[in-house]
Amino acid sequence: MFTTGSKLFLGGTVLSIVAAVVVGVSYGGQVGLLGAIGLASAALAFAVLAGVNLFVRDCNVSAMQPDAATECAAAQQPAGRSMWPLVSAIALGLLVVGAETEPAVFKVGVVLLLAAAIEWMVQGWSERASADPAYNDSVRKRILNPIEYPVLAAIGLGLIIYSFSRIMLWIDKEGGPVIFVVIGVLVITGGAIFAARPSVKTSVIVGVCAVAGLGIVSTGAVMAIDGQRAITEHPSTSSDTAICDEEGPGTGEAAEIDHRPTQTVAARANLVVTVSLRDGKLTATELGLPGDRTVVTLGRSTPSNIMFRNFDDPERRFTVRMGAFTTTENGVTTTTKPQDCTQLVENGGEQMLTVEFPKPSFVSEEPYQIVVPGVEGQQIEIVVP
Amino acid sequence: MSQHVSLERSDQSVTTVQHMSFTRRHRLRIAAAGLVAVGFLAGCAKDAPQDTWQPAGTNAQTIQDLQWWVFAIAGVIGVIVFVVVGYSVVRFRDRGQEMPEQSHGKPSLEIGLTILPAIILLAVAIPTVSTIFKLAKTTDTQCVINVTGQQWWWEYDYPVQDGCMPGGITAPIVTSGQLVMPTETNVLLRITSRDVIHSYWIPRLNGKRDAVPGRMQTLRMQANQPGIYSGQCTEFCGLSHARMRMEAVALYPADFQTWVANQLTEYVAPEAGTLAATGEATYIANCARCHQVNGLTEAGTDADGNPTVTPVLANPDQYLVPGAAPNLTHLMSRNTFAGATWDLLTEACRPTVWDASPEDFGALYLQGVTPKCLNEYQLRQWIRNAPAMKPMYADPLLAGPAGGKLRGMPDLGLNDNQINELIAYLLERK
């Protein structure tokens, strides 16, 4: 009897009447009267619209057409079941919660609400596209599937990758490669089996993939909640005199040291000087100049990359002493001796240092030098023009 | 009626023939004018100082050898293509004939047209790769010079080394504007930049190499004969990119030794009471915070009133974005200033040095700039207001975004007397 459109307007009519009564009684006086009049007017308007919808059976056709009541699309069937009202409700909930807690939750709510609005709108429109439900469904798919599939695939893939990263960050550093290899072998083996047996049912493949995916996601979720393993921050270089002057681990030096250069490939391929410690002797080679150098020339106000290679025991660090400068300010004389150094480098290891000298070497009260603390009588002089 | 129609057709034919004749004549005129223009423009490059077709060293010659080979191959192919296209255009032009039968797929032709370009590319690639390796070789280096670009000039420093000349270079040398190198010597440039990417190119001595901040690139140089070889920055680097020039000066090894010895001479203070002596004080007050003059000292007193002599040390890293300004210790030993944009020699004196014979060049160059030959007019303009001559980000009021540092020399607001004093002082910086 009642069409969908008329239900909406009848609901509005009832709500307006109730609101008019509530406002009129609760506020009283002129305000209550004006409110009640306004809401009563709205109720009247809603009632008229409900009547019109009932008369034309929600159709955009002339009321004079006798077939309208039976042939127009809206009159054929009620709206189909839809999950989008529920999704919209959840999205609104996330918006409210997110506004008070995490911005990320709020953003998820916004995205979800937009997605639900689009899906709901297209579904609602497609259900009235014609009197043929199958055609209506195909119209909806034609519009939304090209968007839904890539988006869902990206979300699914992202979820698996994120879960996998949580797993790798949770497990032990040494165990990581093992797990990685095992999973890789399993994936390749599974793929090989499926490829070798084309007769395997699609449902079996989908089932296995779904179980594997769920396993990764659920494990990742558990490990994400538990938190990642402790990762020690270990800078490869230092400007701390307490460290640079020390033969062994310096004060405040990280226990875990990266013995390999942490710089980029581009920087490593751009060495100006290479310093080697072998049999207690320090030698240097300089880009473009033949043989070993006892004096190297580095540019002023421009970064220079120096590689240190240790071929001796024990672990050694490589220190660049960048002169000594005395300044007097407010009658107080201060001498600074800046230096840069690597962390300890094991036998066979190498470490790179990028240094920059803002002043020429003749300005300094002490020469610029490359030294290895603990190795006496060995230094390379640096000249900065 | 039929006669009338026939006459009309005849008139149309005459008009069409006249029109075709006019069009043909018009095209011939355009073609002739084009040929004349090409010949004229080609003639313009005869005495160009930056001509890649006039190599003056082994490295540039290596490029030239490759260039000719590739140019010959490309030229032959180009001629063949144009002849075939021209023949096709004329022979098969539209004369109202029927459209010829269209065919598709001829394996022998397709394979042939795949193999032929591959062979041509191979013929070009083999000498090209060989040339690349030749030009990248550093093991035969006899002399190393560091080249550092900044907006908008080049600094050259000579590391302490055994090479370059007998006895080697015993103390570092810093100069700018002109790269001085010995002839018949394999020089290796180590090129970098202090601010943005520049590109170093002396066309008659080698190809170009980018100067990239944080990277050290190498470039071989070798000059057969003494002389000055021009170049310019070939990577757009800001306001005065067009005025970031460079010159390589090749000297016979004996002359190069003289030049090195001169660059390592101790500072000689101006004679007391002269205009140059006043200029020294003016220099210390206005220029020394950025420009270094090696050996320059300043007299003063300590806290107890005792006389002291302290070295005057520039702090370009405090005032300039790249952290460097040209070293002026031997300014008048070079021929240019302001990023090799202007000559220090007058127009009258310049040809004496630039056009000198290889035998005479060294002696003339080593004379440096004499008072008679100083291009005082432009040097004076530069000292008075450098940014007016060369666009730079050198206005202290606009230096905020760069942490208060400038790019280039600012307007120092010097008066005529100060400029006179500075010129007198700088004239002694040989």
Per-residue pLDDT of chain A (385 residues; tens, 9 = 90+): 677 778 888 888 998 898 889 888 888 888 888 888 988 999 999 999 988 888 877 766 555 666 655 666 555 566 678 888 899 999 999 988 888 888 899 999 999 999 999 999 898 888 878 878 889 889 999 999 999 999 999 999 999 999 999 998 898 878 888 888 988 899 899 889 988 888 888 898 899 989 999 999 999 999 999 988 877 666 677 787 778 887 777 665 655 555 555 556 666 678 889 999 999 899 999 988 888 888 899 988 888 989 889 998 888 888 999 999 888 888 788 898 998 888 888 888 888 888 999 888 888 889 999 999 888 889 999 999 8
Q: Cα dihedral sign for B381, B382, B385, B391?
A: positive
Contacts of A270 in chain B (CB under 8 A): 214-216
Pairing of strands B153-158, B143-150: antiparallel
pLDDT digits (tens, 9 = 90+) for B206-227: 999 999 998 889 999 999 999 9
Classified as helix, coil or strand, A178 is helix
Residues of chain B above pLDDT 90, percent: 69
Q: Tell if the CB–CB gap between B214 and A299 is shorter than 8 Å.
A: no
Asked if the C-beta of A85 comes within 8 angstroms of chain B's C-beta atoms, the answer is no
Contacts across the A-B interface (CB distance below 8 Å): 74
What is the average pLDDT across B365-377? 95
Q: What chain A residue is nearest to B137 in terms of C-alpha separation?
A: A288
Q: Tell if the CB–CB gap between B148 and A286 is shorter than 8 Å.
A: no
ipTM score = 0.76
For residue B111, how many C-alpha atoms fall within 13 Å in the half-sphere facing its CB?
3
Q: Tell if the CB–CB gap between B214 and A286 is shorter than 8 Å.
A: no
Q: Tell if the CB–CB gap between A359 and B139 is shorter than 8 Å.
A: no
> Pick from B160, B193, B294: which is nearest to A383 by CB?
B160
Q: Tell if the CB–CB gap between B148 and A302 is shorter than 8 Å.
A: yes
d(CA B407, CA B322): 7
pLDDT category of residue B52 using cuts at 50, 70 and 90: confident
Which of A77-81, A328-332, B144-148, B233-237 comes out lowest in average pLDDT? A77-81
Beta bridge partners of B298: B310
Contacts of B214 in chain A (CB under 8 A): 267, 270, 302-303
Asked if the C-beta of A359 comes within 8 angstroms of chain B's C-beta atoms, the answer is yes
Q: Which of A265, A301, A325 to mutate to test the interface with B (most CBs of B within 10 A)?
A: A301
- Higher model confidence: residue B153 or residue A259? B153
Q: Are B327 and B156 in contact (CB under 8 A)?
A: no
Asked if the C-beta of B160 comes within 8 angstroms of chain A's C-beta atoms, the answer is yes
Is B216 exposed, middle or buried, given 0-12, 13-18 or 19+ CB atoms closer than 10 A? Answer: buried
Classified as helix, coil or strand, B430 is coil
- Higher model confidence: residue B11 or residue B234? B234
pLDDT of residue B16: 54
Order of strands across the sheet that contains B143-150: B173-176, B153-158, B143-150, B187-193, B217-221
Asked if the C-beta of B326 comes within 8 angstroms of chain A's C-beta atoms, the answer is no
Q: Helices in B92-226 by DSSP H: which ranges?
A: 107-136
**Inter-axis angle of helices A133-170 and A202-226, nearest 10:** 50
> Pick from B141, B159, B213: which is nearest to A297 by CB?
B159
Q: Distance, in angstroms, between A261 CA and closest chain B CA? A: 17
Asked if the C-beta of A363 comes within 8 angstroms of chain B's C-beta atoms, the answer is yes
Q: Kindly report the backbone phi and psi dihedral angles of residue B251, in degrees, each rounded to the nearest multiple of 5, phi listed first.
A: -125, 150
> Pick from A267, A301, A360: which is nearest to B194 by CB?
A301
d(CA B56, CA B181): 13
Q: Where are the beta strands (DSSP E) in A270-336?
A: 273-278, 281-286, 295-297, 304-310, 319-322, 325-329, 332-336
> Pick from B139, B192, B317: which is nearest to A299 by CB?
B192
Q: Tell if the CB–CB gap between A358 and B323 is shorter than 8 Å.
A: yes
Q: Cα dihedral sign for A83, A86, A90, A96?
A: positive
Asked if the C-beta of A300 comes within 8 angstroms of chain B's C-beta atoms, the answer is yes
pLDDT of residue B36: 83
Contacts of B144 in chain A (CB under 8 A): 288-289
Which homologous superfamily does the CATH classification assign to the domain defined by A237-383? Cupredoxins -  blue copper proteins (2.60.40.420)
Q: Are A340 and A320 in contact (CB under 8 A)?
A: yes
Q: Tell if the CB–CB gap between A288 and B141 is shorter than 8 Å.
A: yes
> Pick from B213, B216, B292: which is nearest to A272 by CB?
B216
d(CA B430, CA B420): 18
Domain range summary for chain A, segments of one domain joined by +: 1-76, 133-226, 237-383
pLDDT of residue B203: 95
Q: Which of B137, B138, B143, B146 to mutate to test the interface with A (most CBs of A within 10 A)?
A: B146
Contacts of B146 in chain A (CB under 8 A): 297, 299, 385
pLDDT of residue B5: 44
Beta bridge partners of B213: B193
Check whether B63 has a pLDDT greater than 90.
Answer: yes
Residues 276-295 of B with CB under 8 A from A: 292, 294
Q: Tell if the CB–CB gap between A385 and B173 is shorter than 8 Å.
A: yes
Check whether B12 has a pLDDT greater than 60.
Answer: no
Q: Kindly report the backbone phi and psi dihedral angles of residue A277, in degrees, each rounded to the nearest multiple of 5, phi listed first.
A: -115, 115
Is B187 exposed, middle or buried, given 0-12, 13-18 or 19+ CB atoms closer than 10 A? Answer: buried
pLDDT of residue A107: 93
> Pick from B144, B192, B193: which is nearest to A288 by CB?
B144
Asked if the C-beta of B324 comes within 8 angstroms of chain A's C-beta atoms, the answer is yes
CA angle A312, A313, A319 (to 5 degrees): 70
Residue of B66, B80, B72, B154 whose CA lies nearest to B113? B80
Q: Tell if the CB–CB gap between A287 and B313 is shorter than 8 Å.
A: no
Q: Tell if the CB–CB gap between A270 and B292 is shorter than 8 Å.
A: no
Domain range summary for chain B, segments of one domain joined by +: 275-427
pLDDT of residue B6: 46
Residues 194-213 of B with CB under 8 A from A: 194, 213
Asked if the C-beta of A294 comes within 8 angstroms of chain B's C-beta atoms, the answer is no
Q: What chain B residue is nearest to A331 in terms of C-alpha separation?
A: B303
CATH number of B275-427: 1.10.760
